[in-house]
Amino acid sequence: MALPARVPVVVIGGGPAGLLLARLLQLAGVESVILERQTREHVLGRIRAGVLEWGTVETLRTAEVGERMDREGFVHDGVGLSFRGRHLRIDFKGLTGKSIMVYGQTQVTKDLYAALDDAGVTVVAEAADVLPHDVDTDAPYVTFATDGTVHRIDCAYVAGCDGFHGVSRTVIPTSIARTYERLYPFGWLGILSETPPVDTELIYCHSEPGFALCSMRHAMLSRYYVQCDLEDEIEAWPDERFWDELRPRLPHDAADRLVTGPSIEKSITPLRSFVAEPLRHGRLLLAGDAGHVVPPTGAKGLNLAVSDVHYLAGALLDALTTGSTTGLDEYSERALARVWKAVRFSWWMTTLLHRFPESGEFGYRIQEAELDYLAGSEAAQHALAENYVGLPF
């Protein structure tokens, strides 16, 4: 692969954030190179969330990668909350005029890769030892290795879209960087099964045994989660045990509809809230999980990456085409204002629906009281719906 010596933007990370940024830049005529540590097969093999805010849907359409999403995705106008044997439907469409789209993150990633390949954007897989240099000067560059050869690409800006464990955030000096973190005392055990979903919409379940979530990818592919101990090992969760744990956490009618089957994917995800500030250091800009992580309860991870890229793409295009750095100067503050609202919402949903070991029966009754209040208050339902479908970019 012939690599350019210089491009306007080097994108570190070939996940949805990096791919979408490169796509928006390419549509505006700005060249970039994407450096991804893993193989493409690894990236496309990761099972991730699939709930898209409507702002994300519109952004993907703007990026001209929404055709398959519109054809194969499922528009949901609401979501269910289950507690004390009750099923409360939050009517997104009626309360906010907006909906959500259920379309897997893996499919979004496939669509972006296909569009970038067609456009001839350079994506370097298995890029090792990636490191940005001199990002606090006017002449940053990035070094990396492929096939044992070290390469250097000079650029005007570096976009760090390489996730929570990536290198980009570590380049920001500790004297400048600030981090905020909350670790939750449980995880999510999730399975994927080739079975019909129990409902046409997602169901979030609050129950005495613990939290559960019923989701789907399509009419014959279901995604289920149950709250589990952080110390649990996958080997301790054979399929039979999973279904036995899930069923009593569901509303009775959903439990009666539940179709079980062998899992085709199973994983345990720890839950954390994490924010790094600032998202800009000189000519290094962070986006997506490189700058923040939320528990999956509020379905905000991918959507926050998209909103970051929405702000960042416009700011980079202004700087590269007009010379104005106003957008870049404001990027971190604008993005973080939305990030913190999503962090709050994800924390609230997590706190509302899970069993916390330290809270005891008092905490459980407080949760039930809040859910009961939510069931009787249109204002409270509107606030939930407004946050779930996505605050404005």
pLDDT at 230: 93
Instruction: Mark whether 266 is an active-site residue.
Output: no
**Domain containing residue 344:** 6-76+101-181+272-350
* CB contact burial 106-120 (16+ within 10 A = b; e otherwise): bbbbbbbbebbeeee
Q: Are residues 47 and 113 in the same domain?
A: yes
Strands in the chain per DSSP E: 6-12, 32-35, 51-52, 74-76, 78-83, 86-91, 100-102, 122-124, 128-133, 141-146, 149-160, 178-193, 203-205, 212-218, 221-228, 263-277, 280-281, 284-286, 292-293
pLDDT at 74: 94
Q: Are residues 62 and 163 in the same domain?
A: yes
pLDDT at 46: 78
How many domains would you assign to the chain? Answer: 2
Q: Are residues 45 and 56 in the same domain?
A: yes
Instruction: Give the domain CATH number at 128.
Output: 3.50.50.60
Q: Are residues 129 and 202 in the same domain?
A: no
* Res. 45 pLDDT band, cuts 50 70 90: confident
* Res. 2 pLDDT band, cuts 50 70 90: confident
Tokens of 135: 């990002």
Q: Are residues 136 and 237 in the same domain?
A: no
pLDDT tens digits, residue range 346-377?
999 999 999 998 999 999 999 999 999 999 99
pLDDT at 50: 85
Over residues 189-195, the mean pLDDT reads 95
Q: Are residues 361 and 265 in the same domain?
A: yes
pLDDT at 218: 81
Instruction: Give the domain CATH number at 265.
Output: 3.30.9.10
Which of the residues 16, 76, 141, 157 is marked catalytic?
76
pLDDT at 263: 96
Residue 277 CA to residue 373 CA, distance in Å, equals 35
**CA count, 13 A, side-chain hemisphere, 287:** 33
Instruction: Mark whether 331 is an active-site residue.
Output: no
Q: Are residues 257 and 283 in the same domain?
A: no
Reduce the DSSP state of residue 262 to 3 states and report it: coil
Could you tell me what percent of the chain has a pLDDT over 90?
94
User: Partners of 133 in the beta sheet?
Assistant: 141
Does residue 298 fall inside a structural domain? yes
Q: Are residues 209 and 287 in the same domain?
A: no
Does residue 198 fall inside a structural domain? yes
Which of the residues 206, 300, 310, 354 is marked catalytic?
300
Over residues 144-160, the mean pLDDT reads 96
Instruction: Mark whether 300 is an active-site residue.
Output: yes
Q: Are residues 302 and 162 in the same domain?
A: yes
Residue 258 CA to residue 265 CA, distance in Å, equals 18
Q: Find the helix or strand (DSSP H, E) in which 282 lies.
A: none
Inter-residue contact 162 to 305 (CB < 8 Å): no
pTM recorded for the entire structure: 0.96
Over residues 142-170, the mean pLDDT reads 97
Does residue 105 fall inside a structural domain? yes
Q: Are residues 188 and 218 in the same domain?
A: yes
pLDDT at 49: 72
pLDDT at 4: 94
pLDDT tens digits, residue range 55-101?
999 999 999 999 999 999 999 999 999 999 899 999 999 999 999 99
Find all residues with CB under 8 Å of 215, minimum gap 6, and list them.
50, 51, 102, 197, 202, 222, 223, 224, 225
Q: Pseudo-torsion of CA 376, 380, 381, 384, nearest 10°? A: -150
Instruction: Mark whether 76 is an active-site residue.
Output: yes
pLDDT at 156: 98
Does residue 87 fall inside a structural domain? no
Q: Are residues 280 and 229 in the same domain?
A: no
Q: Are residues 267 and 279 in the same domain?
A: no
> Taking 90 as the threshold, does the pLDDT of residue 225 lie above it?
yes
Over residues 145-174, the mean pLDDT reads 97
Does residue 85 fall inside a structural domain? no
Does residue 143 fall inside a structural domain? yes
Residue 287 CA to residue 163 CA, distance in Å, equals 8
pLDDT at 228: 97
- Lowest mean pLDDT: which of 43-47, 234-238, 369-373? 43-47
Which of the residues 113, 157, 204, 225 is marked catalytic?
204
Does residue 82 fall inside a structural domain? no
Does residue 83 fall inside a structural domain? no
Find all residues with CB under 8 Å of 167, minimum gap 6, and list them.
12, 130, 131, 132, 160
